[in-house]
Chains A and B, each alone.
Chain A
Amino acid sequence: MNPHLVQKIVGFVGLATVVPILASAVIYFLLPRQSRYHGIAAVLASTISLLLIGYCARIAPDQPILVSVPWLWGDAANFGVGVYMDRASLFMALMVCVVAWLVQIYSLGYMQDDLGRYFALMSLFLGTMLGLVLAPNFTQLFVCWELVGFCSYALIGHWFDRPSAADAARKAFVVNRVGDAAFLIGILMIWAGAHSLGLSELRSQWQHSIAQTSTATLIGLLVFCGAIAKSAQIPLHVWLPDAMEGPTPVSALIHAATMVAAGVYMLCRVHWLFTGDALQVIAWVGLVTAVFAAMVACRCWDIKRVLAYSTISQLGYMMLAVGLAVPAVAMFHLVTHAFSKALLFLVAGVVILLARREQDLRRLGGIARREPVLYVLFLLGALSLVGLPPFGGFYSKEMIVAAASKTARWMFCVLIIVGSALSGFYITQLSVSVFHGTERSQVSRSIGVRWKLMIMPALGLGLLSFASGWMGWYEVFGGANADLETAERDWISSMREPLLHLTGVGSLNIVAVLVGALTALLVQARGYYLNRVGPTPIARAIENAFYIDQIYHVVIGGIYNWLTRITSGMDALVIRGMVPELLRSTFDLTGRLLRGFQVGDVRAYIATSMFVLAVILWLLIRKLHLNV
């Protein structure tokens, strides 16, 4: 490897990570409070990062590059900051930069008059997300993991006057912290067992050191807990639907495309960590989450909540792919999902602005007639999301299905098909309620000059989500397609081959999606949810996500409350009550006792003196006796 090339790449990538963080500091400290330069600075920084990362992704050599400097301790390899670049991390960083750049341009239009800390936090998020993606060791990974969690908190709470937004921000951070605690304990166990935290070094020596011991599964599960929290899997999924309180571009960037994908990315990065048992658990958790979230999405009445549960569901599919030991497929699905979901969120944002902040499905409609471009963009995203060919989502989902059908478990395939049907249902329900039918709420004529700023990025994402299946994303993440010859591959063959080699389960999948879509159309036509008297208990349970949130609030919140009350009570009563009381009464009693000797009774004085004299005489006589 040419050392100059390495130096150049390392420099550029380091710059790409640091520039957004510097821009964030400049915006926060130097620029005046509400100024359009916030957005310009942020977009400039993300453009620089995008160009640098894009360039490095092109010229990077095949071997990984690892550089770190001491940060937390002298041992830079384990406790330093730096970059670890191989194809997977560079292209993940590229995806993050592309989506972040497009969303920030969109934000210039969306967040026009409403700035606060928004762009500073978005820039900080981009820098720390890149730091996470390019982390060379668990230390930097954990540090950036926490920092993106903080950015998410601050951006969800952007409108912190609203109690619901403030509560949602706190919930997001605390739930993520629960997963992070388990993650940290897993990191500690890796440190103690393997004596190393560097990702590339651990990969090479994992097999010899820990993989054979009994704690390997436990370590894998603890590390997975971090991903459960970050990627909103059951049981720590409760923060993501509430996170929709934040501005829509935040939901698009952070809670659809990048931060929640960080959990999946981390699992793919360290997939050699997991034993077979741990992978089983990961696969089941992912699958159950996928189906559960898809079910709940079918009965959500808020645009962003539907998309949130849809994100949880798709993340479940990615976890399933990790659990099936095909991490390249998980990364592929991550990328196709990122493009399509970000697009859906951006379109939803425009719809919300058009409808004057109305987000309820039951009160929207007819937008397709007003803004056909918007409808086309929505369709691009929706078709990719459910996985219909030739859109990007089809290729990644097809690979997950293929991997699942190779295992002996038919339950996997059944649940995947059920999930696909449900996804067809909810996306069609969303599309029809929002875009078709009669206009049930007032829709603005136009949103002025912001339109171009918001539609251009959406168009970009539309193109990407259409083409992501055959752009070559799978190959850069290390996937090797056995069906295709490695020599002559171009995008046409990438597009065509999976269709020709469609398995039985794969075609069942597509059929299921269409069935789900048809059901949704039927339900809409019959106006089921408009005309019925009231939803059945089951429907209501699904609507409330099986009351998991409420159960947590009552049970965990109740236990925690009880604990705090007991400890405060004990503190007040025993420690701050009894201990000083004990001291005080000791002094008091001693004083009273001693006072008894000083009452002025001469006879008592004489008696005491006689007694003491007698004791002294006795002691003297004893001493004399002994001496004699």
Chain B
Amino acid sequence: MNLFYFTAFPPLVLAGLIFVLGDRHRKAVRCLVGLGAIHCLLVGLTLPILYSLAGAKTPANWKFVAEIWFLNNSGLGINGKFGLDGLGVTMAMLSGVVGGTALLTALLESDRPRSYFALFLIMVGGLFGAFTSLDLFYMYVFHEFALVPTFLLMWLWGRTPDKKCQALQTAIYLNVGALLILVGLIWVRFLPGVASFDVTALSGVNVAGADTFGAKFVPWMLMAGVGILSTVWPFHGWAPGCYMTAPVPAVMLHAGVLKAFGIYGLFRLASVLGLDSTSCLVHMVSWLAVANIVFGGLIALQQKNLNLTFAYGSIAHVGIVLLGLCGGTEMSWTGAIVAMLANGIWAALAFGTVGALEARFKTSEIPTLTGLGRRAPWLASMLVVVGFAGCGLPGFLTFVGEVLVLLGAWEIPQLRLQVIFMAVGVLVVAAVYLLTVIRNTVHGPADHIKCVEIPWVERIPTFILAGMLLLGGVYPYGVVKMGSSFERPRRFTGASLVHSNGEGAQWEKLEAISSGLLKSSK
């Protein structure tokens, strides 16, 4: 099975077909979009199964590796290689599920021109390509495929009066981030020890000790770029405006999947850049992660608009993933990967629900939306799911990610203070603002008794997302096993810095506290 033709290619082809068909064949266009949605969901749900069943592996856990000859350019070190490991298949699953439900949500909206749907299909194709690509260059290219349509969607079909201003601001801010990442990625190619853009060859390289200016500067630059793209504090300024303005399916895709891309890139480059728990960059980033969680939760409490509340909520969740990355142990990385999946689905569910509320009640201002428990029971129960999944109630996949990150990061003594802050942030701060949202929207007297009944067709996208959160939470072992089958960079042995004198760092290898997960498959 050729991964590229199975995942990334079909949505792009469908987008091209839709452009060709034109606006006269609206029904055909909608059929094609439906096809695209079904394809996404199929990929998202079957790829993990295929991955678990696939026995034969190339070395280092990469499965389904395929090379597309016309994408190769060995002169520049670019390979059209596609493949999956645990991290990749989790992100592909996330793209499939969120992409499929976003396309379904777009379908359910009232009549839109063909470019609207085509842009979404390009986004989804780009996401699949970015996460299955084993080449840094194509990762970036496909990521741009996924990113740029957001700006167009915001400019043309934004939900607020100042959509053009917001679209410009988001575009410029995100392009600065993308620029930093582009320069960083190209520079990585020229770091000592790196021969090409191939990701599979990177895990043996470590430039952290090298003396060149690039080796010292590139991690910081990449971190800044990733910070902008993934809404790390203090680079999150573009996100609230963007999530308020962009059309709902775009927000679902962006907040759910695209945001995770930056950190996904960091995972891939972690060994090259030496991002383990000893680097001072990682120490600083772990405090930024804490800032994300705590400040995101605090600011979310002040918001009067549901879109902004959940925007800051998703900003807060990025902190969890980032802290998992900083932990560097197997458990914390697995927790971060599961958290990316769970928080992506959560963000899509949250913004999808708000979109449905806006469609029915023409507003997303919290003061006007009270008593939803009686007025719109289905939407109210979705909001309750969003609320409790967001603060990590066991039984939802978000809890699994958070608790694995906490347990994993706790193994590193230098990160313990950050873990304490994260525990308080996730358990208390998140609960405060989410339960306040539920109190102000779902609970309370319903003055207007008009009960809004949502037809079952419109319930499908949110039902799928909530169902995945619940299923993953009730039996997480499958997801955890899948997410933990990545190649841990050889330097990451759970080592922690014990002595640092003038000559350099002495490493002490910690014993593995948690037993290895896949003894048989490693």
Residues of chain A having any CB pair with chain B under 8 Å: 70-75, 142-144, 146-147, 150, 157, 160-163, 165-167, 169-170, 173-174, 177-178, 180-181, 184-185, 188, 191-192, 195, 560, 563-565, 567-568, 571, 574-576, 579-580, 583
Contacts of A195 in B (CB 8 A): 513
Say how far B157's CB is from chain A's closest CB, in angstroms: 23
B444, A560: Cβ atoms closer than 8 Å: no
Let me know if B498 is at the binding interface, CB within 8 A.
no
B432, A192: Cβ atoms closer than 8 Å: no
Indicate whether A568 sits within 8 Å of B302 (C-beta atoms), given known contacts A180-B427, A184-B423, A185-B423.
Answer: yes
Contact with A along B381-424 (1 / 0, CB 8 A): 00000001001011100011001101100110000000110011
A73, B443: Cβ atoms closer than 8 Å: no
A161, B295: Cβ atoms closer than 8 Å: no
Indicate whether A174 sits within 8 Å of B393 (C-beta atoms), given known contacts A188-B410, A192-B411.
Answer: no
- Taking a contact as CB atoms closer than 8 A, the residue among B173, B410, B420 that contacts A191 in the complex is B410
How far is it, in angstroms, between the C-alpha of A143 and the C-alpha of B400 when the chains are bound?
10
Let me know if B373 is at the binding interface, CB within 8 A.
yes
Contacts of B173 in A (CB 8 A): 580, 583
B444, A143: Cβ atoms closer than 8 Å: no
B423, A75: Cβ atoms closer than 8 Å: no
Say how far A31's CB is from chain B's closest CB, in angstroms: 15
B237, A579: Cβ atoms closer than 8 Å: yes
How far is it, in angstroms, between the C-alpha of A375 and the C-alpha of B234 when the chains are bound?
65
- Taking a contact as CB atoms closer than 8 A, the residue among B236, B403, B516 that contacts A575 in the complex is B236
How far is it, in angstroms, between the C-alpha of A583 and the C-alpha of B172 when the chains are bound?
9
Closest residue to A571 on the B side, CB-wise? B299
B299, A173: Cβ atoms closer than 8 Å: no
B431, A75: Cβ atoms closer than 8 Å: no
- Taking a contact as CB atoms closer than 8 A, the residue among A75, A143, A161, A170 that contacts B515 in the complex is A75
Interface segment, B48-56, B141-149, B250-258, B474-482? B474-482
- 10 other contacts beyond A72-B476, A161-B446, A174-B428, with CB at 8 A cut-off? A72-B477, A75-B514, A161-B374, A169-B443, A170-B435, A180-B427, A563-B298, A564-B299, A568-B299, A580-B172
Question: What are some 29 contacts across the A-B interface (CB < 8 A)?
Answer: A71-B476, A72-B403, A72-B477, A74-B515, A74-B518, A75-B515, A161-B373, A161-B444, A163-B443, A166-B444, A170-B435, A174-B428, A174-B431, A177-B427, A184-B423, A188-B410, A188-B423, A560-B432, A563-B298, A564-B302, A568-B299, A568-B302, A571-B237, A575-B233, A579-B237, A580-B237, A580-B238, A583-B173, A583-B176
Nearest 6 pairs of A and B residues by beta carbon: A166-B443, A143-B394, A160-B443, A181-B427, A576-B237, A568-B302
- Taking a contact as CB atoms closer than 8 A, the residue among B176, B393, B444 that contacts A160 in the complex is B444
B373, A160: Cβ atoms closer than 8 Å: yes
Residues of chain B having any CB pair with chain A under 8 Å: 169, 172-173, 176, 233-238, 240-241, 295, 298-299, 301-302, 331, 371, 373-374, 388, 391, 393-395, 399-400, 403-404, 406-407, 410-411, 419-420, 423-424, 427-428, 431-432, 435-436, 438-439, 442-446, 475-477, 480-481, 513-518
A71, B407: Cβ atoms closer than 8 Å: no
Closest residue to B291 on the A side, CB-wise? A567
- Taking a contact as CB atoms closer than 8 A, the residue among A167, A173, A565 that contacts B302 in the complex is A565
Closest residue to B443 on the A side, CB-wise? A166
Indicate whether A576 sits within 8 Å of B240 (C-beta atoms), given known contacts A74-B481, A170-B439.
Answer: yes
Indicate whether A147 sits within 8 Å of B298 (C-beta atoms), given known contacts A72-B404, A74-B515, A170-B439.
Answer: no
How far is it, in angstroms, between the C-alpha of A143 and the C-alpha of B373 when the chains are bound?
27
Contacts of B371 in A (CB 8 A): 161
Closest residue to A70 on the B side, CB-wise? B477
B444, A580: Cβ atoms closer than 8 Å: no
Closest residue to A145 on the B side, CB-wise? B394
How far is it, in angstroms, between the C-alpha of A185 and the C-alpha of B418 when the chains are bound?
12
- Taking a contact as CB atoms closer than 8 A, the residue among A147, A174, A563, A583 that contacts B394 in the complex is A147
Say how far B439's CB is from chain A's closest CB, in angstroms: 5
Contacts of B234 in A (CB 8 A): 574-575, 579
How far is it, in angstroms, between the C-alpha of A560 and the C-alpha of B443 when the chains are bound?
22
Say how far A192's CB is from chain B's closest CB, in angstroms: 6
B410, A73: Cβ atoms closer than 8 Å: no
Contacts of A567 in B (CB 8 A): 295, 298-299
Contacts of B399 in A (CB 8 A): 143, 146
- Taking a contact as CB atoms closer than 8 A, the residue among A73, A142, A579 that contacts B480 in the complex is A73
Indicate whether A564 sits within 8 Å of B423 (C-beta atoms), given known contacts A72-B400, A150-B388, A583-B172.
Answer: no
How far is it, in angstroms, between the C-alpha of A195 and the C-alpha of B407 when the chains are bound?
11
Contacts of B331 in A (CB 8 A): 73
A185, B420: Cβ atoms closer than 8 Å: yes
A191, B407: Cβ atoms closer than 8 Å: yes
Contacts of A165 in B (CB 8 A): 443
A184, B406: Cβ atoms closer than 8 Å: yes
How far is it, in angstroms, between the C-alpha of A142 and the C-alpha of B392 when the chains are bound?
12
- Taking a contact as CB atoms closer than 8 A, the residue among B241, B435, B516 that contacts A173 in the complex is B435
How far is it, in angstroms, between the C-alpha of A142 and the C-alpha of B395 when the chains are bound?
12
A188, B407: Cβ atoms closer than 8 Å: yes
Say how far B422's CB is from chain A's closest CB, in angstroms: 10
- Taking a contact as CB atoms closer than 8 A, the residue among B295, B435, B514, B516 that contacts A571 in the complex is B295
A564, B298: Cβ atoms closer than 8 Å: yes
How far is it, in angstroms, between the C-alpha of A575 and the C-alpha of B234 when the chains are bound?
6
How far is it, in angstroms, between the C-alpha of A533 and the C-alpha of B164 when the chains are bound?
68
A191, B432: Cβ atoms closer than 8 Å: no
How far is it, in angstroms, between the C-alpha of A166 and the C-alpha of B438 when the chains are bound?
9
Closest residue to A167 on the B side, CB-wise? B439
Indicate whether A177 sits within 8 Å of B400 (C-beta atoms), given known contacts A161-B446, A188-B410, A571-B295.
Answer: no
Which of A70, A147, A564, A580 has the most chain B CB atoms closer than 10 A to its own CB?
A: A564
Contacts of B240 in A (CB 8 A): 576
How far is it, in angstroms, between the C-alpha of A191 and the C-alpha of B241 when the chains are bound?
42
Closest residue to B413 on the A side, CB-wise? A192
Contacts of A192 in B (CB 8 A): 410-411, 513
A157, B443: Cβ atoms closer than 8 Å: yes
How far is it, in angstroms, between the C-alpha of A75 and the C-alpha of B419 when the chains are bound?
22
Indicate whether A174 sits within 8 Å of B513 (C-beta atoms), given known contacts A70-B477, A147-B395, A161-B444.
Answer: no
How far is it, in angstroms, between the C-alpha of A46 and the C-alpha of B68 when the chains are bound?
60
Closest residue to B236 on the A side, CB-wise? A575
How far is it, in angstroms, between the C-alpha of A173 and the C-alpha of B436 when the chains are bound?
11
Say how far B516's CB is from chain A's closest CB, in angstroms: 8
Contacts of A185 in B (CB 8 A): 420, 423
B444, A188: Cβ atoms closer than 8 Å: no
How far is it, in angstroms, between the C-alpha of A210 and the C-alpha of B103 when the chains are bound?
54
